[in-house]
Amino acid sequence: MQNPPSLPPKPVAKVWRPELTRLPEYTLWRRLVRAALWVAAQVLVKARTRLAVSGLENFPKRGPGLIVFNHLGDADIVVILSQLRTLSVDPLGASDVRDDYRWVGALGDRYGTIWLHRGQPDRRALACALESLRRGRFVVIAPEGRQSLNRGLESGLEGAAFLAFKSEAPVIPIALTGTETARFDEDTKHRRRTPVSMSVGKPFRLEKTGERRADLKAGTDQIMRALARLLPPEYQGMYRR
């Protein structure tokens, strides 16, 4: 499924820096950093949002698991991580965003983000994500490949389906509303807390037929429609029922 002609192409990393991409090791220092950032995220979310969470009981008690979410704004990952009761979560993050915003890079490096070069097959990042899943961790990926330009779901890329098939890990859909960056900025100006919702769907596994290309296409569609089912119509975008 392609984006409508009115939307620009998906972003492509301009600089290839494979040395940035590595599997985060769970050293004592990293565990302490993650615990501190988890507390900070909870405080920030409580201070800046009026968050309504549903379906958290669907989140598995242990990994592995591939977390997919609809990408609306900068606050997405903060909201998600603040509500999960595990520190064994490795996000995939865009390397170009790391380069463009130093504070994102600094926090991401300390947390242990797997940096992904967008717009081309990043085998190193995929290998790191697969190893993370093999070790029983959770991996977070935005299957759209960027923040939505109109808040509705855009076409899904095949990276999430590839990881799900290759690892055989369950897919955990998490749908967000209200986390659009422009909305947060406007509410901040008026000192308002932003209404935000987070819905966790039931984990599922992708069905494999043996035809790789067809499986990736069908698996991507299955992932995106699982997210759409958790979202109100105005956020379903290309996958509106």
- At 142, which amino acid appears? A
Q: pTM for this one?
A: 0.94
First to last CA, the chain: 15
Please classify residue 189 by burial: count the beta carbons closer than 10 Å to its beta carbon, then call 0-12 exposed, 13-18 middle and 19+ buried.
Answer: exposed
pLDDT in tens, the chain (241 residues): 555 557 888 988 988 899 999 999 999 999 999 999 999 999 999 999 999 999 999 999 999 999 999 999 999 999 999 999 999 999 999 999 998 888 899 999 999 999 999 988 899 999 999 999 999 999 999 999 999 999 999 999 999 999 999 999 999 999 999 999 999 889 988 899 999 999 999 999 998 888 989 999 999 999 999 999 999 999 999 998 7
pLDDT in tens, 10-54: 988 988 899 999 999 999 999 999 999 999 999 999 999 999 999
Domain 20-234 in CATH 3.40.1130.10? The answer is: yes
The CB density around residue 124, as the number of other CB atoms within 10 Å, is 18
H helices present in 87-197, as ranges: 95-100, 102-111, 123-134, 159-167, 181-189
Kindly give, in sequence order, each residue whose CB lies less than 8 Å from that of residue 122, ignoring residues fewer than 6 positions away: 21, 116
User: Domain-by-domain residue ranges, the chain?
Assistant: 20-234
pLDDT of residue 209: 85
Separation of alpha carbons 111 and 193, rounded Å? 26
Number of continuous H segments (helices) and E segments (strands) in the chain: 9, 7
* Interstrand relation of 171-177 and 194-200 (parallel, antiparallel or unpaired): antiparallel
Three-state SS annotation for 216-232: HHHHHHHHHHHHHHCCC
Beta-bridge partner residues of 172: 67
